[in-house]
Structure 1
């Protein structure tokens, strides 16, 4: 029998309560060879060479290398919760160069057949979910009891297709990597709510009173972990952006870039789209409704037509007024809230100039204060869907190309670091001195600054708030479910993982700040002024 040696693999120690996962090394002939098994484990490696990797349970393997990351290796994803991340390689490259080294339950990984290859910030996540995967499960009883039904992506669920669960849903589970919208009326109107399971599964044990036993509409869409930075218009190439839009619905998302559709005017474009083909999970509202030169819609008319947008089931952004149209925006938001019309985020434009072209800090502070005022008034995350450092119609001094580059660089730093700004997309055509891209495709100094900035993830995970007593009991039995009757489910984040505990299972936190291990608590628990905590902790 041939003999070989296993190359040793070492891993960082961790603080846990109380155990760390085991790594098994298998021998294979005839030279260096190794196996790596992850079972309910999370590991990070720069690269792997000549390694057979098997992931089972709720596991994550993160590969940080940007070139030749898995030379001679084969990676097996053997459960729906076994995910593979390439943190510095684009989805198109993963699909073309590395998918052949990945197996899903023993079969070759095939895009959109037995796996998803999805944007994840500046990299990619490979998710072993096939085209028939059902990411949502609804229940007739609270706390996931009673009759249940599994729901698929891109399916129009209404009273007929929900069957006995029409107006009888009281709880649901939504798998990580998906977004779902539920509504009272079969048209998507009435009280509705959008849920996003970005960082972990969302489990709603108790629905809000106005939705409990009142749901006649459900839509589920795949999620993308898109970065903040985008572009307005069809000029994204070479600018290193993760999303764009073009005041239309005439394109589809591609592996590396999310395309966001918009209902630019009251009746156009048509919303009878195949959202699966479009690759969409967001929809922008009317473009500059306060301007006679744009969509030019009275607030009351916009409110009357808003259910048309809600009927898509997509995550919906407000109409985007000019930066002088905030009164229009605030009136719309007030009336939408009164009518219980869903608006998931607020879109704004910004072209205000500053008194000095050579003061990037001053211009950026003015921009931040404008955004902070809108956020404080609307209490929604913001998308800045058009912006620049002034415009041809503003009164401030025009910058030089170098001054504009310095100010744009400062502004995108502010946008990336402002938590209530979810996304932003620069507008190019407001005088040559403010361009980021010339018509021949070359970049200005501001364009280089825009290209070279790597923006963080856009969406910040929100846990649905449940209006029950502010107490919870977490057993960590391979989940972060609240075992009390209060329904305050949490989400584990970073490299937090489950292991053997004092009694039954427990959760392991590495203590490494870089990995960001923690358990995210729901608002009524984590945001309380008074806080009592009790647990078995192995330190």
Structure 2
């Protein structure tokens, strides 16, 4: 999750109707208005308060386990280890009576060595296990939505009749809402499925401890307003979630939702209001 390449490719160059893989019926969006999410991997009382303070419609933890019982939870099978060694699917199935979830998120950044770190072959081989849940399945969330890894996975999914019900997307880029919304539209056009933007924020990948981000908080908040409004006008965008990083993080600190003491920043207050 530390380094990403952002390509502003024309929409026509990204659209590829041939990649409409298995589960054509799944291309119908399930919601009339994109639902705002929160992502938080913590399990302490502060994490609970932070999730609640954002007024989300749903949340996830990058895990198959939930940490807060009073909000709709979407589990994730983060990687092969959790799937094969931690009985992640068994846990998801056992929790269904409490979570009532209809969705399951697939592998997290399988193309990143510090995240799921999986080959396309391995992901394709394990995907039928996720299908056994009967839940709607979100695609693996790659480092960026134009990745070769994702394209190869979706080609294999079509060939091997695997079910992928919606596309998941990560995006960390400059605060240009038009560029971001074009990426979202391009992902939908290419794979003809609903879209969940499960991680996004403004990032200055050249920032360091001694060189501040060139993107100010007002710039970030303008981007947030415009992208949330834009996604809610896209009938195929089902859900989105802003990514929280610490306020002292050089790259994404101006995107942070929380101060170091856990209280909301102005950006967090804005997100909570949207």
TM over 0.5: yes
- The one of the two structures with greater contact order (alpha-carbon pairs below 8 A, sep at least 6) is 2
Structure 1 or 2: more strand by fraction: 1
Structure 1 or 2: more helix by fraction: 2
- 8 Å contact from structure 1 (residues 262, 286) kept in 2: yes
Task: Quote the RMSD (CA, aligned, Å).
Answer: 2.9
Higher Rg: 1
SS of the equivalent of 1:236 reads helix
- Alpha-carbon spacing, 1:310–1:425, altered in 2? closer, same or farther (3 Å): same
The farther-off stretch of 397-406 and 363-372 is 397-406
> How far apart are 1:324 and its partner, in Å?
6.6
Q: Distance in 1 between matches of 2:197 and 2:228?
A: 11
Q: Distance in 2 between matches of 1:394 and 1:310?
A: 41
- Identify the match of residue 56 of structure 2 among 232, 238, 241: 241
Q: Distance in 2 between matches of 1:277 and 1:338?
A: 35
- Identify the match of residue 177 of structure 2 among 361, 364, 384: 364
- Alpha-carbon spacing, 1:406–1:322, altered in 2? closer, same or farther (3 Å): same
Instruction: State the partner residue of 2:232.
Output: 416
- Identify the match of residue 38 of structure 2 among 231, 253, 266: 231
Instruction: State the partner residue of 2:198.
Output: 385
> How far apart are 1:402 and its partner, in Å?
2.1
SS of the equivalent of 1:267 reads helix
1:348 and 2:194 aligned: no
- Alpha-carbon spacing, 1:421–1:414, altered in 2? closer, same or farther (3 Å): same
> How far apart are 1:393 and its partner, in Å?
5.5
- Alpha-carbon spacing, 1:422–1:225, altered in 2? closer, same or farther (3 Å): closer
Instruction: State the partner residue of 1:158.
Output: none
- Identify the match of residue 272 of structure 1 among 82, 85, 90: 90
Q: Distance in 2 between matches of 1:237 and 1:338?
A: 42
> How far apart are 1:254 and its partner, in Å?
3.8
The farther-off stretch of 312-321 and 368-377 is 368-377
Q: Distance in 1 between matches of 2:73 and 2:206?
A: 29
Q: Distance in 1 between matches of 2:118 and 2:159?
A: 19
- Alpha-carbon spacing, 1:391–1:312, altered in 2? closer, same or farther (3 Å): farther
Q: Distance in 2 between matches of 1:291 and 1:314?
A: 26
- 8 Å contact from structure 1 (residues 351, 389) kept in 2: yes
Aligned residues: 230
Query: Mind listing any 5+ residue stretches in structure 2 that lack a counterpart?
Result: 1-21, 42-49, 246-250
**Cα deviation code 1:215-255 (max 9, x no counterpart):** xxxxxxxxx99961101215422111111111112216745
- Identify the match of residue 187 of structure 2 among 357, 364, 374: 374
- 8 Å contact from structure 1 (residues 192, 342) kept in 2: yes
Query: Mind listing any 5+ residue stretches in structure 1 that lack a counterpart?
Result: 1-190, 200-223, 355-362, 454-539
- Alpha-carbon spacing, 1:353–1:225, altered in 2? closer, same or farther (3 Å): closer
Instruction: State the partner residue of 1:251.
Output: 66
Q: Distance in 2 between matches of 1:266 and 1:318?
A: 15
Q: Distance in 2 between matches of 1:279 and 1:253?
A: 14
